[in-house]
Amino acid sequence: MSPILLNGIGTVDDHSEYIEPEVPFKNPQIHVKNPHLDTMEEDILYHFNLGTKTHNLPEMFGDIKFVCVGGSANRMKSFAQFIHQELALPGNMDDVTDICEGTDRYSMYKVGPVLSISHGMGIPSISIMLHELIKLLHHARCIDFILFRIGTSGGVGLAPGTVVVTDKAVDCFFRAQFEQVVLGKVVTRSTELDVGVSKELLQCSSELEDVPTIIGNTMCTSDFYEGQGRLDGALCSFSTEDKLEYLRKAFNTGVRNIEMESTVFAAMCRACGIKAAVVCVTLLNRFDGDQIATPHDVLVEYQQRPQVLVAHFIKKRLGLVV
pTM of the model: 0.91
| CB of 158 closer than 8 Å to CB of 214 | yes
d(C-alpha 52, C-alpha 42), whole Å: 6
Helix axes 262-271, 123-139, angle to 10 degrees: 30
| pLDDT tens string 253-285 | 999 999 999 999 999 999 999 999 999 999 999
In 3D, which of 221, 70, 223 has the Cα closest to residue 133? 70
In 3D, which of 278, 259, 292, 291 has the Cα closest to residue 213? 278
**Has 97 been labeled as part of a binding site?**
no
| CB of 106 closer than 8 Å to CB of 73 | yes
* CA dihedral sign, ordered 134, 136, 138, 143: negative
d(C-alpha 115, C-alpha 96), whole Å: 11
The whole-chain average pLDDT of the chain stands at 92
**Has 230 been labeled as part of a binding site?**
yes
Q: What is the mean pLDDT of residues 231-244?
A: 97
| pLDDT tens string 12-27 | 445 456 566 665 555 5
Model pLDDT, residue 25: 53
**Has 150 been labeled as part of a binding site?**
yes
Beta bridge partners of 224: none
**Has 83 been labeled as part of a binding site?**
no
| pLDDT tens string 167-185 | 999 999 999 999 999 999 9
* CA dihedral sign, ordered 236, 241, 245, 247: positive
Model pLDDT, residue 133: 98
Supply the DSSP symbol for 192: B
Model pLDDT, residue 16: 53
**Has 151 been labeled as part of a binding site?**
yes
Model pLDDT, residue 23: 58
**Has 314 been labeled as part of a binding site?**
no
- Position 125 pLDDT exceeds 70: yes
The CB-based long-range contact list for 97-103 (8 Å cut-off, 24+ gap) reads 99/48, 99/50, 99/60, 100/47, 100/48, 100/49, 100/50, 101/49, 102/49, 103/46, 103/47, 103/48, 103/49
**Has 149 been labeled as part of a binding site?**
yes
Model pLDDT, residue 18: 58
